[in-house]
Amino acid sequence: MSAKEIDDDWGEELEIEPLDELETVEEQAAWAPPEEKPGEVAKRVVSDAEAGWRLDLFLAAKFPQYSRVLIRKVIQAPDGVDVDGKHGKPSFRLKPGSVVSFKLVEPPRESPIPEDIPLDVLYEDDDLAVVNKPADMVVHPARGHWSGTLVGALANRFAGQLSSNRGPARPGIVHRLDRDTSGAIIVAKNDLAHARLAALFEEKRIQKEYFAIVLGTINADREIVDMPIGHHPKYRVKMAIAPNDPEAKPAQTYFETLERFRGFSTVRCLPKTGRTHQIRLHLAHLGCPILCDKLYGGRSTITFDEIAGKHDRSPQAREDETTEPIPALARQALHARKITFEHPTTGETLEIEAPIPHDLQQTLDALRLYRALDK
């Protein structure tokens, strides 16, 4: 069995392997041979249950102290990893009885600095938590965003209680949301729960529901967009609909129109896959980009005056104003509203809902006031 973890940094689904045969985190730690140190070559034999696993995922399961990114770098090094004496690629599929040799490296010490940032915890138990991530918060530290991250807030709120599957820089992180996307995100509190949650993601047994406000009126009540997504040929930060790109990945999103206004709509979004910027791209493909999505919609803010239709006043009237127009929204109007999944330990079905945040609600109220179709 394999499992996938969604990671916007890679623009793909990163797979990991659950350790179902290990009943507790303590058993998982005790299973690893002792006294293995950086610089030594550690060997692992592929069991029948692990046949068909990718090489990178096998190593990620056997050496949870390393992040998947670091493991891939070691595999790609000339003398980092071999399978039965031969060099293998990260995607190499393993056979039962094969011996995998892995040259241990010093794990990076990149533990996040705990930050006292308030968190809206929607659900919590011994294995996991579901947090309502605010907009304008990066999930984990990266270039240009070393503080104010969700990881820093989690390290403060759940000190010593987070999974280590993704390495010291991303404790507890099972999946991600874009910086400007708010809403429900699952956090794993131990490695076994993390692996099982990731397996649920791969098996498409975790359902994520998003709420979006879009520009334009969607004619269909329901729509399925099935268009592959690849990297943009010119702009590094963008993805693109790429039906002719052999490297593009399949992507499907189900949309349901909730309300229509003059020039706007609200939409329920159910992604069937987890590609980078998938919902944003698919809505733009329908001709209705997400409101205030600068990357795919062209602008990042909208004011109450614009919603009310006052943006077309004369230049003289605008010059006479003594105050700046009040922004109704200054980030993409996308919210992870609900997440439904099977608890990794109890098997109970959890349905966790994140309330619509204030900025989206006030925008929606303004649309109902000024943009209703009967006005």
pLDDT tens digits, 268-305: 999 999 999 999 999 999 999 999 999 999 899 999 99
Give the whole-angstrom CA distance, residue 277 versus residue 179: 11
Q: Provide the percentage of residues in the chain whose pLDDT is more than 90.
A: 61
Q: How sure is the predictor about 68, in pLDDT bands with cuts at 50, 70 and 90?
A: confident
Q: What pLDDT, in 10s, does the model give residues 138-154?
A: 997 665 556 789 999 99
Residue 30 has pLDDT above 60, yes or no: no
How far, CA to CA in Å, does 35 sit from each of 42, 104, 238? 10, 12, 45
Output phi, psi for 105, to 5 deg: -120, 165
Q: How many CA atoms lie within 13 A of 154 on its CB side?
A: 33
Give the whole-angstrom CA distance, residue 120 versus residue 22: 32
Residue 3 has pLDDT above 50, yes or no: no
Amino acid at 324: E
Residue 33 has pLDDT above 60, yes or no: no
Enumerate helices (H) and strands (E) in the chain, giving the number of each. Answer: 10, 19
**Residues contacting residue 319 through CB under 8 Å, at least 6 positions apart:** none
Instruction: Give the pLDDT confidence score for residue 236 in this predicted structure.
Output: 78
Name the active-site residue from 56, 82, 178, 305. Answer: 178
Q: How much is the average pLDDT of 45-69?
A: 86
Amino acid at 4: K
| Tokens matching residue 126 | 């011994």
**Residues contacting residue 206 through CB under 8 Å, at least 6 positions apart:** 186, 197, 200, 339, 340, 341
Answer for the pair 269, 209: CB distance below 8 angstroms, yes or no.
yes
Is 178 known to be catalytic?
A: yes
Helix axes 68-76, 55-62, angle to 10 degrees: 120
Instruction: Give the pLDDT confidence score for residue 357 in this predicted structure.
Output: 97
232-241, 281-290, 314-323, range with greatest mean pLDDT: 281-290
Give the number of other Cβ atoms within 10 Å of residue 96's Cβ: 12
10-19, 56-65, 326-335, range with greatest mean pLDDT: 326-335
Instruction: Give the pLDDT confidence score for residue 335 in this predicted structure.
Output: 98
Give the whole-angstrom CA distance, residue 19 versus residue 274: 23
| Tokens matching residue 259 | 């309300």
Q: How much is the average pLDDT of 101-128?
A: 86
Answer yes or no: pTM beyond 0.85: no
Decide: helix, strand or coil at residue 369: helix
